[in-house]
Structure 1
Amino acid sequence: MKIRLERDVLAEAVQWAARSLPTRPSVPILAGLLVRAHESGVTLSSFDYETSARIEVAGQVSDDGTALVSGRLLADICRSLPNRPVDIVSDDVRMELTCGSARFTLQALPVADYPSLPSVPEATGTVASSEFAQAVAQVVVAAGRDELLPVFTGVRVEIEGDTLSLLATDRYRMALKELTWNPNSTTVSATALVPARVLSDTAKSMTAGEEVTISLASGGNGGAGDGIIGFVGTGPGGRRQTTTRLLDGEFPKVRHIMNTQSALNVRTSTTELIAAARRVALVAERNTSLRMTIGDGVITLEAATGDQAQATEAMEATVEVVDGGALPMTAAGFNPGYLLDALGVLDAPFVNFAFTAPGKPCLLTPLAELDGDPVGDYRHVIMLMRLPG
């Protein structure tokens, strides 16, 4: 194999393909990155039996061929190269990289021992890449990170005709985003439980093109775990595709919590609330709440670390009791991190807090205008913390 690539193109491609390489591979060969040169360019691939990544980039190919080398080492080398074209020559024993006066020689791994990458299933439909990236970012913040509870580390993808829904929960918060997409069949109906980390990385890395193609194998039902899902799109440097196995387990039925009737609505500026919450949370003790006290046209944020430090900040808000009368509750306790996560992905100038009762879940929805209707395609629920006393 003999090829030449631009340094930035190579570095970006290697970095992306190597991002999913296992830290402690079950089989040493899985630490390798597969480089294949062909007449239409260069393809770099990685696979760990769960997730595969493949990227195609443009390059000058003098001799076709395939090589397998340590992916993480190659990524480190490519990041350090000077900004000049990179020449790569390889045989069955070694790979040699030359960039200006820098030269590296890597030991080649046996290509024959590398597992075959799974094929991307037949396309189910397409979605605008920017909308998909935003939707995924809004939902994955609510996904769990405890690998001992794998079902909560996934995002439930629901497809019903031209509606694509993303739903995640870690039991203490949940997020739902619905968006319109372009299915290959208007009668398509399917679900899949996709690892949140893979979905997040994939969505962020495919925004250079106009759309992302989603391909869901027939086995994808969100519970059997016997199918795979594929994503094809464009990122910096070239065409990218990812496949990942679906997660096992029954996703909890939490959609009904999103539709709870509110007794109290509190509306305020998103950016001002984020700034205030960040300041007040500086003195919050670990595992203690950020207290929101609700008054007439004002909310006050409070936090403390015992007798050592305390903070309060008041800001204007529109407070509405749904059925009139007295306030059904005067204070609510939020996990500071959960609150800031939710506000940070809201993507709206104003936010509506829909409260039901003390200690019950609180629904956050974005508002385009302070006195407008909530934007219904995104909903975020936070379980309130118990307040002392």
Structure 2
Amino acid sequence: MKFSIEKAVLNKAVSQAQSVVERRNTIPILSNVLIEATPEGVSFRATDLDTEVVDRAPATVERPGATTVSAALLNDIARKLPDGALVNIAFDADSGRVSVQAGRANFNLATLPREDFPVMASTEYTANFTAPAPVLRRLFDKSRFAISTEETRYYLNGVYMHVADGEGGRTLRCVATDGHRLARIDAPLPEGAEAMPGVIVPRKTVAELKKLLDDDEAEIAVSISETKVRFANPTITLTSKVIDGTFPDYTRVIPRGNTRRLEVDAADFARAVDRVATVSSERSRAVKLALDEDRLILSVNAPDAGAADEELAVAYADEPLEIGFNAKYLQEIAAQIDRENAVFLFNGSGDAALIREGGDESAVYVVMPMRV
């Protein structure tokens, strides 16, 4: 194997591939990236057995072939090479070593046999469709903050992607919850997605997916089966096992009878919460919302640290209400809101609040109250 590749191209491809590699591995080959050179170009493949990423890059291939080298080591070398350098990479089968040369810098790296590298088995996907990158990015970006990190409730450790009945017909929906807050985001249902099974996309895969969706012009090919999901843009393919579990019936926790309506500037609200929460105890970070006619007072009372309050002009015309929430949860939800105003719908001080982005019904958030 022998090829030449630009430093920036190599850096990007190796960085993308090696990000799925676990730092501590009991299986040495899983620390490596599989490099495959063909007349069409070079691909870099990495896996942790649950997730696999393949990044294809343009290169001048003099001799096709394949081998594996340490992903972290190759990533560090690619990052530190001079900008604009042409990198020459060659594998010598006799010595079992890979040479990396750029300018006057030369590296000689150990390899492991490509035959030992585990390639994720191909699956018959039951649904195949394409969707614009910005649509998928919105679905996952707006829901990912609510993914649970509690390993015992493993079925909440991802985003539930499925077909649902929305306000204007069937939609592609992503839902995440940790039991304290919930995000439900809808997008128009792409052609070909009608028969897709509902799958829970793991937290790590959602994080990797963010890099694959950064091109606004890209169309993403999505393939789904009961056990796997695959996302592909023109250069990167991300394949992942899905979480083997049943996502709970989230519709039961979305309030339907909340009639007390508060409308507030989302950015002003987020900043005010951040300011008053400065004095709250780290453990609870509870913020009290006191609502009266067209007025909201945010307050925190932390006996050990002090107290703070701030008043905001809002649109509110219902009975007075006092309700408490975790400040971090309020800030995270406010950060998702793209529109100018956030709309809160309350019932009572002990009931979950429903939050929307202005009049947009395609994004709904729920947050449980706290005692203050």
- TM bucket (normalised to shorter chain) is over 0.9
Please give the alpha-carbon distance, in whole angstroms, between the structure 1 residues aligned to 2:112 and 2:32: 7
Q: Is the 8 A contact 2:231 2:237 kept in 1?
A: yes
Look up the equivalent residue of 2:102 and give its one-letter code.
Answer: C
Please give the alpha-carbon distance, in whole angstroms, between the structure 2 residues aligned to 1:189 and 1:112: 34
Given the alignment of the two structures, is residue 375 of structure 1 paired with residue 360 of structure 2, yes or no? yes
Please give the alpha-carbon distance, in whole angstroms, between the structure 2 residues aligned to 1:25 and 1:3: 29
Q: Is the 8 A contact 1:133 1:204 kept in 2?
A: no
Look up the equivalent residue of 2:137 and give its one-letter code.
Answer: A
The within-5 A match list for 1:345-384 is 345-367=336-358, 374-384=359-369
Higher mean displacement: 20-29 or 331-340: 20-29
Q: Secondary structure at the match of 1:10?
A: helix
RMSD: 1.7
TM-score (ref. length: structure 2): 0.93
Please give the alpha-carbon distance, in whole angstroms, between the structure 1 residues aligned to 2:253 and 2:151: 25
1:27, CA displacement in angstroms? 1.4
Please give the alpha-carbon distance, in whole angstroms, between the structure 1 residues aligned to 2:170 and 2:236: 24
Given the alignment of the two structures, is residue 108 of structure 1 paired with residue 111 of structure 2, yes or no? yes
Look up the equivalent residue of 2:336 and give its one-letter code.
Answer: V
Look up the equivalent residue of 1:51 and give its one-letter code.
Answer: T
The within-5 A match list for 1:19-30 is 19-30=19-30
1:205, CA displacement in angstroms? 2.4
Please give the alpha-carbon distance, in whole angstroms, between the structure 1 residues aligned to 2:268 and 2:246: 39
Counterpart residue number, 2:334? 343
Q: Secondary structure at the match of 1:344?
A: helix
Q: Secondary structure at the match of 2:371?
A: coil
1:97, CA displacement in angstroms? 0.9
1:175, CA displacement in angstroms? 0.6
Q: How many residues align?
A: 362
Please give the alpha-carbon distance, in whole angstroms, between the structure 1 residues aligned to 2:133 and 2:124: 19
Structure 1's 308 and 47: CA in aligned 2 closer, same or farther, altered over 3 A? Answer: closer
Within the candidate set 260, 270, 277, 1:274 is matched to: 270
1:259, CA displacement in angstroms? 4.4
In structure 1, list runs of 5 or more residues that go unmatched. Answer: 221-226, 368-373
Note the alpha carbon deviations across 1:280-311, whole angstroms, 9 max, x for none.
11111123201111122111111243243322
Counterpart residue number, 1:132? 136
Q: Is the 8 A contact 2:287 2:326 kept in 1?
A: yes
Note the alpha carbon deviations across 1:59-99, whole angstroms, 9 max, x for none.
11111010101111111111111111111111231111112
Counterpart residue number, 2:198? 191
1:203, CA displacement in angstroms? 3.5
Structure 1's 157 and 273: CA in aligned 2 closer, same or farther, altered over 3 A? Answer: same
1:183, CA displacement in angstroms? 2.5
1:103, CA displacement in angstroms? 1.6
1:356, CA displacement in angstroms? 1.2
In structure 2, list runs of 5 or more residues that go unmatched. Answer: none
Counterpart residue number, 2:90? 89
Given the alignment of the two structures, is residue 17 of structure 1 paired with residue 17 of structure 2, yes or no? yes
Within the candidate set 143, 146, 164, 1:142 is matched to: 146
Look up the equivalent residue of 1:242 and give its one-letter code.
Answer: L
Please give the alpha-carbon distance, in whole angstroms, between the structure 2 residues aligned to 1:246 and 1:167: 15
Counterpart residue number, 1:175? 183
1:364, CA displacement in angstroms? 0.7
Note the alpha carbon deviations across 1:326-345, whole angstroms, 9 max, x for none.
33xx2111111111111111
Given the alignment of the two structures, is residue 249 of structure 1 paired with residue 256 of structure 2, yes or no? no
